Amino acid sequence: MPEVLLYAAIAGLVLYRVVYQQVRGTLLSLRTLVVMPLLLTVLGGYLALKALPGASAAELGVLAADLLVLAGLGVLRSTTTTLTERDGTTFQKGSAITIGLWVLTVAVRIGVAALGTALGVDGSLTSASIALTLGVSIAVQNATTYRRIRRRGLPLADRRPAVSR
């Protein structure tokens, strides 16, 4: 039961902080690009490491494939957002295609878990790695977005309070 609550909390956080804000549009800073994927990847890595001793080679293979596909979807999601300058930083806004790719991301994650179950590869690593796979996918998306920002010469606010003199 506690794991279900943790996964529900992760899903709610990702839906709001990532998907909703991308579709609505949000101002970006280095902090907004790094914090969420870092938290998800660290939490997911910890949970996956706890499940690792009981994992089979097949389960590790399914996880590797899942990470590769979701990382690729992260790159694609980044390319579907528009980046413009606003209020001294970069404003990012997703599109209908971004929403579709998020739906595909979730469907792929569920599909990989279902495929693993159908192949008899349904150990605890599969469920324990949800935060890790989402964290990596968002990290790749944000790294791609950061690269696009730098290539276009757009500003990126650091969100630190100004020092008064």
Tens of pLDDT, residue by residue over 34-55, are 998 999 999 999 999 999 998 9
Tell me the three state secondary structure of residue 48: helix
Contacts of 157 (CB under 8 A, 6+ apart): 27, 28, 29, 87, 88, 89
Give phi and psi for 90, each to the nearest 5.
-95, 135
Beta bridge partners of 93: 82
Using the CB atoms, write b or e for 146-158: b if 16+ within 10 Å: bebbeeeebebee
Extended strands (E) in the chain: 26-28, 82-86, 89-93
What residues does each domain of the chain span?
2-152
Residue 161 or 13, more confident = 13
Pairwise CA distance, residues 67 & 140, whole Å? 11
pLDDT of residue 162: 45
Q: What is the pLDDT of residues 139-162, one digit of tens each?
A: 999 999 999 999 999 999 875 544
> Using CA atoms, how far apart are residues 11 and 14, in angstroms rounded to an integer?
5
Q: How much is the pLDDT for 95?
A: 93
| Residues 98-137: tens digit of each pLDDT | 989 988 998 888 888 888 888 888 788 888 888 899 999 9
Q: Decide if pLDDT at 93 tops 90.
A: yes
pLDDT at 20: 74
pTM of the model: 0.86
28 phi, psi to nearest 5 deg: -105, 145
